[in-house]
Amino acid sequence: MIKLPGRTVERLSEYRRTLLACLSENKNFIYSHDLAARLHIKAVQVRRDLMLIGYSSVLRKGYDIRELISIIGEIIDPEVAVNVAVIGIGNFGRAIAGYFKGKRSKLNLVAAFDNDPQKFSKIISGIKCYSYSEAERLISEMNIRIAILTVPPELAREITEELVRFGIKGILNFTTISLNVPPDVHLEEYDMITSLEKVVYFSKEK
């Protein structure tokens, strides 16, 4: 497997999403400068990333969109489907689950866990909700490897420690608390407040 920097993996995912949109526009080929313009980056960055995965364009025609989508999938997708769970299915968890479900064939959103008894055994945003007290058993039985964390901030660290102990190997953290995980667990943290403040800062300069 090619070992890629994290930001490169992010861009490859963005390239694929953009290329899929191009297919819906009945485009079959795309030049690096066109792909770059759609993502507001430089064409040299696109070419550098694609050279890193061993792909080059067809002379005068640009990149073959279907072929490039396939190659990106071979690089960044798991060989077998990975099961994912949402931890905390409140309003934000519901929105994340609704957006996420069915977006990628190799990522299966299979369960939600919560502490609210009124949610137990219900289908919420297309997935079944279980009591968090069952998480250890079900994570093992359902072979869940990835957790999307949308719990209250004051619970985030404790639950993260438990999820790691239960066998979770990747966590996408949507709480406002920074987390620490062991080296064998991959953590991605997304803080919408920070992103919004960045937008506000740069919009002032416009």
Mean pLDDT of 122-151: 96
In degrees and rounded to multiples of 5, residue 103 shows phi and psi of: -75, -30
Q: What is the pLDDT of residue 1?
A: 54
Burial (CB count within 10 angstroms: exposed 0-12, middle 13-18, buried 19+), residue 133 = exposed
To the nearest whole number, what is the mean pLDDT of the chain? Answer: 90
Mean pLDDT of 122-142: 95
What domains lie within the chain, and their CATH numbers? 6-76 (1.10.10.10), 82-193 (3.40.50.720)
Residues 68-86 as b or e (16 or more Cβ within 10 Å = b): bbebbeebbbeeeebebbb
Q: What is the pLDDT of residues 156-170, one digit of tens each?
A: 999 999 999 999 999
| Secondary structure tally for the chain: helices H, strands E | 8, 9
Residues 162-183 as b or e (16 or more Cβ within 10 Å = b): bbbeeebbbbbbbbebebebee
Res. 77: pLDDT tops 90: no
Q: What is the pLDDT of residue 76?
A: 85
Mean pLDDT of 35-59: 89
Res. 86: pLDDT tops 70: yes
Residue that wins the pLDDT comparison between 100 and 150: 150
Res. 198: pLDDT tops 80: no
CA–CA separation, 166 and 160 (whole Å):
10
Q: What is the pLDDT of residue 56?
A: 77
Asked if 66 and 23 count as a contact pair (C-beta separation under 8 A), the reply is: yes
Question: Which band of pLDDT confidence, cut at 50, 70 and 90, is reported for residue 81?
Answer: confident
